[in-house]
Chains A and B, each alone.
Chain A
Amino acid sequence: MPTLLYRMLLSLALLLPLTSHAGDAADFVAASPARQAQLLESWAAAPDPARLPLLDALQNGRLVGDIAKQPFIEQDGRYVAVEDAAQPQGIPKKLRLNNRLRGLLATTQASHQLLDQDSTVRLAAARQLQKSAKPAQLALLDARLAAEDDKAVRDALALALANLQLVDSDPAVRLAAVRLLGESGEPLARTRLEALLASAESDSRVRKAAQTSLSQVERRLLLGELLGQAFSGLSLGSILLLAALGLAITFGLLGVINMAHGEMLMLGAYTTWLVQGAFQKFAPGYLDLYPLAALPVAFLVTAAIGMALERTVIRHLYGRPLETLLATWGISLILIQAVRVLFGAQNVEVANPSWLSGGLQLLPNLVLPYSRLAIIGFALFVVVLTWLLLNRTRLGLNVRAVTQNRNMAACCGVPTGRVDMLAFGLGSGIAGLGGVALSQIGNVGPDLGQSYIIDSFLVVVLGGVGQLAGTVMAASGLGIANKLLEPQIGAVLGKILILALIILFIQKRPQGLFALKGRVID
């Protein structure tokens, strides 16, 4: 009996601090998801800096509860009691959040971060609240705005506040809020203004201001959309270019109908995966640098495979396009199946390094992903490199000589066999570089090459066989045309229409966009 009494007293004593924030963690751990949501909402309206470690732990998934519902924070495998709880009983379980709680948590965290010393943290918090602030936070935002001295944070806070003031009872406050929203380029501002206009807004001045603000916002959004479309077209173009550039050499210059070109891309991507694996194993500290290391490795591997293919198979088939087509197609099937046997039919995981994850927020509705920016830059770099190789080196001179007139070049002492091999290796190596880039945005699986081979041939044929500039133009043109058509008629129809247009164009102009001039074509 005394023990029972003692226990009751103890639990009472434990319950007492729950009323103050000292028991927040215990409260939260014991609560049902619906109650947890309520707790987060009430915390968001009345932030307390002491609660921040708890919120951070919750967000990182480090908040755990044991069977007695006592809260702990996991730190390097140990469980640290959050409040006065002592030892965990049993194995504590991680607190699972659902999306609704995660969203509320972000809002709550933001309202706590408004009290931070660092103005950049406050700015980020204010931006978050622009999206998700709840009417219960109105008083808090008002108070913070009055206390804020940083200009940027003030502006952001004022905007977050304006969202809530749209339903204020005072028309003057509503008017100011509507005007302020007009300054923003947020997609959400449009929805809010539209909702205001659709509602029973009685004040004519507010209605008029809302109309002006709406058209202002829409102009900004349109700009972002157009820029976004242009960027995605450019990005698609750069991917097509990287996929097709190797083919521009093997097919364009050497005239080999190389159906195994796609598999060179695939092998480049698999090399990236292997390099990533090696970094994980031997140099985990430098893991972020693996794509850079993968570039030369992929180039060398695919170039070596390309040269081996050229020496063993393709060399015997020069001047017999049909046999080349069949032989290289067979090679492509062999390579695909070999990879499938070696690495499995499933896709392998190539993770973006942290400097290629995320994106650059230019406008509220325009994010340029770093991986795509990097690929555009990389495509340009490879084009310049290839151009320099072909036009400024002895090898390039020889390649051009051999493709223009094999017999004459041989008479002048150019070792044509060697040049063929090197040029084919160069084309394959560039395809390998393309593979490294493709691994950052898409699948890495045995069938990777199959999905790019048709596009690659389209680009090279459209651009004009044997022309680097043509390949560049065709790739970016196709990319932009594709992205212009897609929003209007959908991805499926868009693709069909592009194919139809290319067929018509090639009918009219078989030599492609850029034709070689003079007597070079035999």
Chain B
Amino acid sequence: MKRRPLLKSAFAASALMLSGLFPFTVQAAETIKVGILHSLSGTMAISETSLKDMALMTIEEINAKGGVNGKQLEAVVVDPASNWPLFAEKARQLLTQDKVDVVFGCWTSVSRKSVLPVFEELNGLLFYPVQYEGEELSPNVFYTGAAPNQQAIPAVEYLMSEDGGSAQRFFLLGTDYVYPRTTNKILRAYLKSKGVADKDIEEVYTPFGHSDYQTIVANIKKFSAGGKTAVISTVNGDSNVPFYKELASQGIAATDVPVVAFSVGEEELRGIDTKPLVGHLAAWNYFQSLENPANSEFVNKWQAYAKAKNLPGAAKAVTNDPMEATYVGIHMWAQAVEKAGSTSVDKVREALAGQSFEAPSGYTLTMDKTNHHLHKPVMIGEVQEDGQFSVVWQTEGPLRAQPWSPFIPGNDKKADYAVKGN
């Protein structure tokens, strides 16, 4: 007998909740919801937190100019906590519960691979702002970071050139996961095509969070006695600090063995005393030190934002390549929505092809007509004493991305446009 009233009140409650929801959905129609999927805790928080803040700044900037199609953007921030399966759950939550029109997020390739099926199943739209290994081209993802031919290969070309020190031997050092392994596979094939013998290439991997680089640095030293050596580092995250500290304390200077890193930017150098690292290299598509009006405006805006929002470490706020890629991605998406006159994923996808934007790198970046990647310039920077990079070499203009690297067998048969399940 007691069940009935309980059932009744449950009905009443749910009806109340529904009616309570109604005004909310009406209000939500006034704004465009934008999901932000970056780890704010766990190992990747070091890199991803600033991307979340950069996304919020860009959204604020677009809103201040009147929003998109007359509607304000509303950011929905979630924290996948550096936990790869949680990325997929949070992505599903963003798309089905929060009903966002677009998601900006992910850093590691593992997290991107984890959310990919969700975006393809629900026809969502993800902007991925970090350089990566390629070998992927989904209709539901736009890649605003570099593909291997826009970062890794030009960097190796530079090392082999006279100005780069004419390196003959290569020590490929990486963290043990999909990005370094694939990049090194591509690089090994590339080096072979340039006539570098197998005995002159050494490939070493360490676990995530590895902190003892004594043996590896000693091996680099030994290896470098056999000829002019360069280290190509795809070490990711926290491990970079002990690696560079060990290099410095064992007395390996950049003039003897230069290290070129693909995942070390201004943000990562904030945690290191950079004096012993002067001369080591990084390859990116953007550096904070670039001198052009668009960049100084971008840097000033970011530093003012960091100060206004009282972000931790705001006094020394720096910009880096993935932050620029986030900024460019959000603006391009907004432009495409304006052009399409709608936030529908299919229409926006169409409108994004060929979209261009004056990026802080000083170049007008264009979204490729077919392959969902940006055309980007490549720059090699040297670490300076103040933790900034000075550009020592750059491509003449933006390069088209090759997500399917020609140095991996079988890729010549892959289509250069987005296909589901690739």
Q: Chain A: residues with CB nearer than 8 A to chain B? A: 33-34, 96, 98-100, 102-103, 106, 187-188, 190-191, 225, 228-229, 232, 235-236, 239, 336-337, 340-352, 357-359, 361, 365, 367, 369-372, 441-447, 450-451, 482-483, 486-487, 490-492, 495
Contacts and interface: CB of A to CB of B under 8 A. Distances in A.
B254 A228 contact: no
Interface string B183-224: 000000000000000000000111101111011101101100
Interface of B: 40-43, 45-46, 49-50, 162-166, 176, 204-207, 209-212, 214-216, 218-219, 221-222, 225-227, 238, 241-242, 245-246, 248-251, 254-256, 258, 267, 270-273, 275-276, 279, 311-313, 382, 390, 392
6 contacts: A98-B164, A103-B165, A103-B255, A232-B215, A349-B271, A445-B46
B225 A445 contact: no
B222 A100 contact: no
A286 B211 CA distance: 29
B164 A337 contact: no
Residue in B162, B222, B392 with the greatest tally of chain A CB atoms within 10 Å: B222
Contact of B249 (A188, A372, A450): A372
A359 B214 CA distance: 13
Nearest to A446: B45
A347 B255 contact: no
Contacts of B238: 347, 443, 445, 447, 451
A445 B271 contact: yes
A84 B258 CA distance: 37
Contacts of A487: 215, 219
A99 B270 CA distance: 23
B255 A357 contact: no
Q: Considering residues A102, A225, A370, which has the most beta carbons from chain B within 10 angstroms of its beta carbon?
A: A102
Contacts of B40: 345
B46 A444 contact: no
Tell me if B's interface is mostly helix, strand, loop or mixed.
Answer: loop
Contacts of B222: 187, 225, 365
A492 B267 CA distance: 27
Nearest to B387: A349
Given A447-B238, A483-B214, A100 B163 contact: yes
Given A344-B312, A367-B250, A442-B245, A236 B279 contact: no
Contacts of A358: 249, 251
A495 B176 CA distance: 13
A340 B50 CA distance: 13
A483 B382 CA distance: 32
Contact of A98 (B209, B251, B382): B382
Given A102-B254, A442-B242, A370 B214 contact: no
Residue in A232, A371, A372 with the greatest tally of chain B CB atoms within 10 Å:
A232
A447 B40 CA distance: 12
B411 to A, nearest CB: 27
Nearest to A447: B43
A365 B255 CA distance: 17
Contacts of A450: 209
A495 B273 contact: no
A228 B220 CA distance: 13
A100 B165 CA distance: 5
A492 B208 CA distance: 9
Given A346-B267, A451-B209, A369 B249 contact: yes
B176 to A, nearest CB: 5
A491 B242 contact: no
Given A102-B279, A351-B273, A371-B249, A443 B241 contact: yes
A103 B313 CA distance: 36
Most A CB contacts (10 A, CB to CB) among B43, B225, B276 go to B225
Nearest to B382: A98
B390 A96 contact: yes
Top 10 nearest A-B pairs (CB, nearest first) are A344-B312, A347-B271, A369-B249, A187-B225, A351-B273, A232-B214, A345-B45, A103-B255, A345-B49, A442-B242
A102 B241 contact: no
A106 B207 contact: no
Contact of B46 (A100, A232, A346, A372): A346
Given A102-B255, A367-B251, A483-B215, A352 B241 contact: no
A98 B275 CA distance: 16
Contacts of A98: 163-164, 382, 392
B211 A344 contact: no
A236 B214 contact: yes
B49 A346 contact: yes
A447 B205 CA distance: 21
A211 B273 CA distance: 44
B219 A344 contact: no
B272 A357 contact: no
Contacts of B312: 341-346
A190 B225 CA distance: 8
Contacts of A357: 248-249, 276
A443 B211 CA distance: 8
B168 to A, nearest CB: 12
A296 to B, nearest CB: 24
Nearest to B205: A492
A160 B75 CA distance: 65
Given A229-B215, A361-B251, 12 more contacts: A99-B165, A100-B165, A190-B225, A228-B218, A344-B49, A345-B312, A346-B46, A346-B313, A358-B251, A359-B249, A443-B211, A451-B238
Contacts of B212: 232, 236, 239, 482
Contacts of B211: 441-443, 451
Contacts of B219: 487
Contacts of A106: 255
Contacts of B270: 346-347, 349
A191 B223 CA distance: 10
Nearest to B390: A96
A99 B207 contact: no
A191 B209 contact: no
A450 B246 CA distance: 21
A345 B271 CA distance: 11
Nearest to A186: B225
Given A345-B312, A495-B207, A340 B255 contact: no
A130 B344 CA distance: 68
Contacts of B250: 359, 367, 369
Contacts of A33: 163
Nearest to B210: A491
Contacts of A446: 45
A505 to B, nearest CB: 21
B263 to A, nearest CB: 14
Nearest to B176: A492
A231 B161 CA distance: 37
B162 A100 contact: yes
A216 B222 CA distance: 17
Q: Among B164, B165, B166, B238, which residue has the most Cβ atoms of chain A within 10 A?
A: B238
Residue of A96, A228, A347, A371 ringed by the most chain B CB atoms within 10 A:
A347
A349 B254 contact: no
A482 B211 CA distance: 13
Given A98-B382, A351-B273, A187 B258 contact: no
A347 B215 contact: no
Given A225-B222, A365-B221, A447-B43, A490 B205 contact: yes
Contacts of B248: 357
B164 to A, nearest CB: 7
A345 B107 CA distance: 15
A365 B238 CA distance: 28
A308 B353 CA distance: 60
Contacts of A187: 221-222, 225
B385 to A, nearest CB: 8
Nearest to A485: B215
A334 B334 CA distance: 38
A490 B226 CA distance: 21
Nearest to B275: A351
A482 B321 CA distance: 36
A191 B176 contact: no
